[in-house]
């Protein structure tokens, strides 16, 4: 039995490491592309960088901590809580970055003429800073007291243990399900996702209204502008859809745990839900590469400039980009 558990843990760790090895380089590439390409310097791509930073942290920090929690070491309560909280911070940061992206796309199609005067680099930076501040406050709420400490202390007293408050470090041991469902999901996950859905529906509605107008010689530029906005909006809506698809199963399982304590959820479903949440951090660079031409061009430039020509100096490396 011990051998099978060990083998299962080894498989779990291998999948987590694979996700991290895809997520970290992919999202570093996104940040690198925005830094080196002037065409990717507007507010939308600044918010995308914020999302990429969170995804890098998932691969570099959250996944190693998740592996530690899976092993379940014996540790002090608040030490375990510190291991569990980063994923809450980064999840909220991703959601707020996606919300900022959605609002930015809405403003682009709603007030195209005044957009640049409304969405300035300074305001975008303030918005990103606010998103991260809120994310830390939401994610660290368990550290402020909304956790399972009292429940664990009562259990320890019943067991008449007074040798020090040491526990087996697991997520559900320290994180309150009431916090995860009532506060995290019902306040900071589900409403922003529904709001983003409404925003993108309105964005597509506004764009289609503009594209359905009769094209005249004087309206060529607006038609081109809204056509480009439609392509980018579809790509970013796909990012949102993948995020919701990745995170909702785990939150549904949390709701089942809270509202139906007698219901037994198969462990394999929990692990699949966890893999989906971590795997989401690796999806976005792939979406950008296949769906957004500016990113695709920047990725090719990085490859040709820093990798292709350095590995084979005799080859002719040119940044070619096939037309859409």
Q: Give me the CATH number covering residue 56.
A: 1.20.1070.10
Range of the domain at 213: 7-150+164-303
d(CA 102, CA 290): 20
Residue 104 lies in a domain: yes
Write out pLDDT tens, residues 295-308.
Answer: 999 999 998 888 87
Question: Would you give the DSSP letter of residue 218?
Answer: G
- Answer yes or no: is 142 within a domain: yes
Q: Is the pTM of this model over 0.85?
A: yes
Q: Which residues contact 1 (CB under 8 A, 6 or more apart)?
A: none
Number of domains into which the chain is organized: 1
313 within a domain of the structure (yes/no): no
pLDDT at 217 (0 to 100):
40
Q: How far apart are CA 27 and CA 59, in angstroms?
A: 9
186 in any annotated domain: yes
Residue 157 lies in a domain: no
Q: How far apart are CA 274 and CA 184, in angstroms?
A: 16
Q: What is the pLDDT of residues 240-250, one digit of tens each?
A: 999 999 999 99
CA distance 226 to 208: 8
Residue 317 falls inside a structural domain: no
Lowest mean pLDDT among 20-24, 122-126, 319-323: 319-323
């Amino acid at each position: 039995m011990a051998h099978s558990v060990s083998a299962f843990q080894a498989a779990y760790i291998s999948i987590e490491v694979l996700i991290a090895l895809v997520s970290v380089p992919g999202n570093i590439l996104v940040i690198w592309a925005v830094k080196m390409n002037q065409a990717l310097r507007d507010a939308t791509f600044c918010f995308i960088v914020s999302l990429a930073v969170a995804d890098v942290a998932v691969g570099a920090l959250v996944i190693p901590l998740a592996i530690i929690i899976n092993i379940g070491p014996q540790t002090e309560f608040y030490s375990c809580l510190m291991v569990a909280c980063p994923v809450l911070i980064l999840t909220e940061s991703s959601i707020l970055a996606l919300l900022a992206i959605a609002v930015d796309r809405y403003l682009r199609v709603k007030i195209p003429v005044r957009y640049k005067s409304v969405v300035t680099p300074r305001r975008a930076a303030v918005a990103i800073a606010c998103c991260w501040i809120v994310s830390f406050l939401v994610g660290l709420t368990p550290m402020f007291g909304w956790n399972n400490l009292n429940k664990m202390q009562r259990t320890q007293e019943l067991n008449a243990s007074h040798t020090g408050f040491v526990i087996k470090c697991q997520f559900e041991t320290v994180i309150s399900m009431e916090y995860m469902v009532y506060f995290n999901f019902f306040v900071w996950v589900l409403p922003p996702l529904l709001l983003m859905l409404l925003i993108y529906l309105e964005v597509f509605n506004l764009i289609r209204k503009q594209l359905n107008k009769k094209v005249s010689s004087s309206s060529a530029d607006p038609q081109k502008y809204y056509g480009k906005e439609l392509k980018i909006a579809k790509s970013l809506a796909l990012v949102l859809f993948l995020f919701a698809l990745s995170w909702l199963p785990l939150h549904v399982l949390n709701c089942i745990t809270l509202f139906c304590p007698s219901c037994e959820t198969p462990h394999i479903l929990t692990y699949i839900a966890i893999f989906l949440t971590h795997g989401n951090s690796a999806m976005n660079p792939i979406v950008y590469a296949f769906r957004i031409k500016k990113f695709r061009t920047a990725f090719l430039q990085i490859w040709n400039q820093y990798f292709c020509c350095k590995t084979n100096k005799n080859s002719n490396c040119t940044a070619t980009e096939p037309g859409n």
